[in-house]
């Protein structure tokens, strides 16, 4: 297996695995050196090489210099094996995975140890302890999309411990197909966020974390349905059955049929197409959400502009009324009785009032011109907004049609997957029947060969002069 080709990797032989399970050494204590690893959830004893230095001297191999590098490498290798098995079983059965699926349980156990590898110890007796749940809570500060998951996990009544909340968070993120995205966000803030939680030689601080991110991205092709409320996430999560991932050559030659690898290129193409369609669907959903937000913003702006337009019209009507009143006052001629009674001072006061009225008339005319300009501007903006809304509605309809067609293509791909799996089962049944027929023919051939050998022996015995048959004795008649 490609992931087990390293000499320092103990996963290439089942006998070696059984030896290392039953022989605890200092490597186990090295795995549990992290303060976050408690007694109930220690990593199995297969992660690091368990052989003493004398074993490497006998094999003329060098003793590994850095055990932390070996731990990281083993975690990455077993993650590759489990993710590969998880994707293969999901495509083979063609159904939604649940909590009882064994490779899925193994995946969560390995992922937990990957994320907890190299956590910093507690500083002093009264210092805070670094937990995985504290790291996952940072994600909602970096991206608002993770707030719903974190709030849901906090409100779970059946989960009480930090490790239980972290496990529930990972399961919800996998169901939403956001686990790889959230891990990428953490890795992008490796220097300013993760450096406070992990040691410098931890897996999350090394380049191998990018491999884990790629593996999690590949899990977007599977569908999971996990009931977090019914699971006991506070207790130990169990152990890993490595026999599902460590297969010898004899097992591969006898247990697996050549038809199991029927059309691998087609399966890879279908898998890539499904992954691409899901990513495109996610991108289109985000685009539709953005367009809907823009439409809502434009609708609100349009309503505000309509209110401003109504207010401007009312102001214009008031100005027109005032202008008409001023014109009426100016058109009125002075009464002669008032001219006679008033002295020379009255004529000068009327002239001042007329000048004031003229100034007010000019101001009102300027305001009217400005109001008309603003009205024309509001009308043109309204027309532009209506055109923009029509274009946005057309774009939204086109995006929806594209999403519908992509979903249909995804359904067709799933149907093709199921048909290929049914054909594979039929081929396996035909091979089984042919094998049984060959065994029966082989038995009959053996019987016929034995019968021919016996007949040949009898024929040889009859033809030979010294055969086994007795010679006839001469008759001696004693009776007369």
DSSP-derived letter for residue 238 is -
Dist. CA 253–CA 255, nearest whole Å: 6
CA contacts within 13 A on the Cβ side of 267: 16
Is-contact 153 159, C-beta < 8 A? yes
pTM here? 0.43
**CA angle (399 as vertex; 398, 401 as ends), nearest 5:** 65
Rounded Cα–Cα distance for residues 262 and 160 (Å): 48
Q: Can you tell me the distance from the alpha carbon of 1 to that of 80, in angstroms, rounded to the nearest whole number?
A: 11
Beta pairing partners, 119: 198
Tokens representing residue 418 in the block:
């199921």
Which residues are bridge partners to 224 per DSSP?
Answer: 97
Q: What is the CATH number of domain 2-247?
A: 1.20.58.900
Reply yes or no on domain 273-334+348-439 having CATH 1.10.10: no
Q: Where are the domains of the chain?
A: 2-247, 273-334+348-439
> What tens-digit pLDDT sequence spans the chain (480 residues)?
333 333 333 333 334 333 333 333 333 333 333 333 333 344 343 344 444 445 444 444 444 468 888 888 999 999 999 998 888 888 877 767 888 888 888 899 999 999 989 888 776 556 566 788 999 999 989 988 888 899 999 988 888 899 999 999 999 999 988 999 999 999 998 888 888 889 999 999 999 999 999 999 888 888 888 888 888 888 877 777 777 776 533 444 344 443 444 456 667 777 777 777 878 788 888 888 888 888 888 889 888 999 989 899 898 988 888 888 888 888 775 555 544 555 455 667 778 888 888 888 888 889 989 999 999 899 999 999 999 999 999 989 999 999 999 999 999 999 999 999 999 999 999 999 999 999 999 999 999 999 999 999 999 999 886 544 444 444 444 443
CA distance 338 to 334: 8
298, 386 in Cβ contact below 8 A? Answer: no
Residue 100 near residue 232 (C-beta atoms within 8 A): no
pLDDT of residue 478: 41
Among the residues of 195-263, which ranges form H helices? 208-218, 249-255
Distance, in Å, from the CA atom of 302 to the CA atom of 314, rounded to the nearest integer, reads: 18
Q: Can you tell me the distance from the alpha carbon of 80 to that of 211, in angstroms, rounded to the nearest whole number?
A: 9
| DSSP code for 163 | H
Would you report the helix, strand and coil content of the chain in percent, each value rounded to 5? Answer: 70, 0, 30
C-alpha–C-alpha distance, residues 307 and 318, integer Å: 17
Angle at 195 between CA 192 and CA 201, to 5 degrees: 145
Q: DSSP E strands: which ranges in 15-172?
A: none
Dihedrals φ, ψ of 97, to 5°?
Answer: -85, 145
């Amino acid at each position: 297996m490609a992931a087990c080709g390293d000499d320092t990797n103990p996963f290439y032989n089942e006998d070696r695995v059984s030896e290392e399970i039953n022989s605890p050494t200092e490597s186990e204590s090295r795995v549990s050196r992290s303060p976050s690893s408690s007694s109930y959830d220690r990593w199995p004893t297969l992660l690091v090489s368990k052989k003493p230095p004398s074993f490497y001297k006998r094999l003329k191999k060098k003793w590994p210099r850095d055990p932390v590098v070996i731990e990281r490498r083993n975690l990455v290798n077993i993650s590759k094996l489990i993710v590969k098995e998880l994707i293969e079983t999901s495509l083979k059965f063609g159904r939604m995975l649940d909590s009882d699926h064994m490779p899925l349980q193994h995946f969560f156990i390995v992922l937990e140890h990957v994320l907890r590898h190299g956590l910093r110890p507690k500083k002093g007796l009264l210092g805070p302890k670094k937990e995985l749940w504290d790291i996952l809570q940072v994600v909602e500060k970096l991206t608002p999309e993770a707030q719903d998951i974190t709030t849901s996990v906090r409100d779970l009544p059946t989960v009480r411990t930090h490790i239980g909340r972290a496990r529930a968070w990972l399961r919800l993120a996998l169901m939403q197909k956001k686990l790889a995205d959230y891990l990428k966000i953490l890795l992008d803030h490796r220097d300013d966020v993760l450096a406070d939680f992990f040691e410098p030689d931890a897996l999350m601080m090394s380049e191998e974390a990018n491999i884990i991110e790629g593996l999690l991205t590949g899990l977007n092709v599977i569908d999971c349905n996990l009931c977090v409320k019914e699971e006991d996430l506070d207790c130990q999560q169990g152990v890993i059955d490595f026999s599902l991932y460590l297969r010898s050559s004899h097992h591969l030659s006898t247990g697996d049929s050549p038809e199991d690898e029927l059309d691998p290129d087609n399966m890879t193409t279908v898998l890539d197409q499904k992954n691409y369609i899901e990513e495109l669907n996610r991108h289109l959903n985000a685009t539709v959400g953005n367009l809907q937000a823009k439409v809502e913003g434009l609708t609100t702006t349009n309503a505000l502009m309509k209110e401003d337009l109504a207010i401007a019209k009312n102001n214009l009507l008031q100005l027109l009324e005032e202008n008409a009143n001023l014109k009426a006052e100016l058109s009125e001629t002075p009464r002669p009785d008032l001219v006679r009674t008033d002295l020379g001072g009255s004529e000068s006061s009327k002239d001042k009032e007329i000048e004031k009225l003229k100034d007010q008339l000019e101001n009102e005319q300027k305001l009217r011109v400005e109001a008309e300009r603003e009205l024309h501007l509001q009308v043109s903006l309204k027309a532009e907004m209506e055109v923009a809304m029509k274009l946005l509605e057309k774009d939204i309809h086109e995006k929806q049609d594209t999403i519908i067609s992509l979903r249909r293509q995804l359904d067709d791909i799933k149907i093709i997957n199921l048909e290929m799996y049914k054909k594979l089962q039929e081929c396996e049944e035909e091979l089984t029947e042919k094998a049984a027929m060959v065994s029966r023919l082989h038995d009959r051939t053996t019987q016929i060969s034995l019968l021919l050998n016996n007949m040949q022996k009898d024929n040889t015995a009859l033809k030979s002069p010294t055969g086994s048959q007795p010679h006839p004795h001469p008759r001696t008649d004693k009776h007369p």
